[in-house]
Amino acid sequence: MPTVFEYTDYRTYLADCYSEKKADNSRYSYQVLADKAGFKDKSCIYSVVKGRRPLSTQGAFKVSQALKHSRLEAEYFENLVLFNQATTLNERSHYFDRLCQIKARTKGVSSTAQLLHKEQYEYYAKWYNLVVRELVTLPEFQGDYTWLAKKVFPAITPAQANRSVELLLKLGLIKKKGKRYVRASAVVATPPEVTSVAVANFHRSMGERAIAAIDQIPREQRNITASTVNISEQGFEQIKKVIEDCRKTILSIAEADEPADRVYQLNVQFFPVSALDRKSSKR
């Protein structure tokens, strides 16, 4: 049977469980699982797996019993269901943390998929990791974490700076070249369900930094503008393409800009501020 601790999507887990059991017994079906779980609607498990209906907390408990989960597996599965069905970032972050805590209590469980890799999640979850990655490449950084911590704005602690460098080295995002650090082109491979939580938290943190910059950074050292436009869906897609092309151009400028002396953050927010007219959208 698949190991539930290696999953971040309970529907995928149930589908894999079904496939394994079906391979062992051709007569096995979602109806059989629903019957063992005590559901009156024999098609409910199939509907849940296909994303047509949610699974309640009580339903998650019944499914765990039917799959003969251990107490720890049942706890993980229930939180996995809550994580997948959470509707707000705070809820998703809460249940993701619960999943990590439960997984940390497991022993002898295969983790080859590394689906809940704490270091990968932390890279995005802590906004200053991306800042530190840029700062450590400056010639002025000579391993002084007090200096590094103060260079981050707003300042972090030397311990946080040290932990950030260790994390970046572990993930292969920076590497040591002689006495200096250089950026490395490594990919932080996390599953979409995990990345969505961490990256969303990162964008929220950087949005808060942008708000603070209005009061804390002199106008001549920042550029914060806004435009409110009335456009169609086609226009929306065109503007998205322009924003992406602009971002790539800025990255190429930054790559060629030597020597660098300060780290900047570029945020681009483009979102609706009016409700969609469903009738006009179908025309």
Give me the CATH number covering residue 46.
Answer: 1.10.260
Query: What's the pLDDT band for 88 if we cut at 50, 70, 90?
Result: confident
pLDDT(82) > 90: yes
pLDDT(41) > 60: yes
Summarised one tens digit per residue, pLDDT across range 221-240 is 999 999 999 999 999 999 99
39 within domain boundaries: yes
Average pLDDT of the residues in 253-282: 82
Which position has the higher pLDDT, 70 or 196?
Answer: 70
Average pLDDT of the residues in 11-15: 94
* Inter-residue contact 99 to 83 (CB < 8 Å): yes
* Inter-residue contact 62 to 83 (CB < 8 Å): no
Which position has the higher pLDDT, 205 or 47?
Answer: 47
Least-confidence region, from 34-38, 52-56, 106-110, 144-148: 106-110
103 within domain boundaries: yes
Domain count, the chain: 1
76 within domain boundaries: yes
What are 124's two structure tokens? 């995005």
pLDDT for res 147: 96
pLDDT for res 111: 43
pLDDT for res 110: 44
**CB-count burial class (<10 Å; 0-12, 13-18, 19+) for 218:** exposed
Query: What's the pLDDT band for 112 if we cut at 50, 70, 90?
Result: very low
Give the domain range for residue 14: 4-109
Q: What is the mean pLDDT of the chain?
A: 87
Q: What is the DSSP string of 142-198?
A: SS-HHHHHHHSSS---HHHHHHHHHHHHHTTSEEEETTEEEE--------HHHHHHH
Summarised one tens digit per residue, pLDDT across range 142-180 is 999 999 999 999 999 999 999 999 999 988 889 999 889
67: Cβ contacts below 8 Å, ≥ 6 apart = 1, 17, 33
239 within domain boundaries: no
Average pLDDT of the residues in 18-35: 94
pLDDT(191) > 70: no
pLDDT(115) > 50: no
* pLDDT above 90 coverage of the chain, percent: 59
75 within domain boundaries: yes
9 within domain boundaries: yes
pTM of whole model > 0.75?
Answer: no
Average pLDDT of the residues in 252-256: 88
**CB-count burial class (<10 Å; 0-12, 13-18, 19+) for 12:** middle
247 within domain boundaries: no
End-to-end CA distance of the chain: 49
pLDDT for res 108: 53
Taking alpha carbons only, the member of 191, 185, 174 closest to residue 7 is 191
pLDDT for res 126: 85
158 within domain boundaries: no
* pLDDT above 70 coverage of the chain, percent: 89
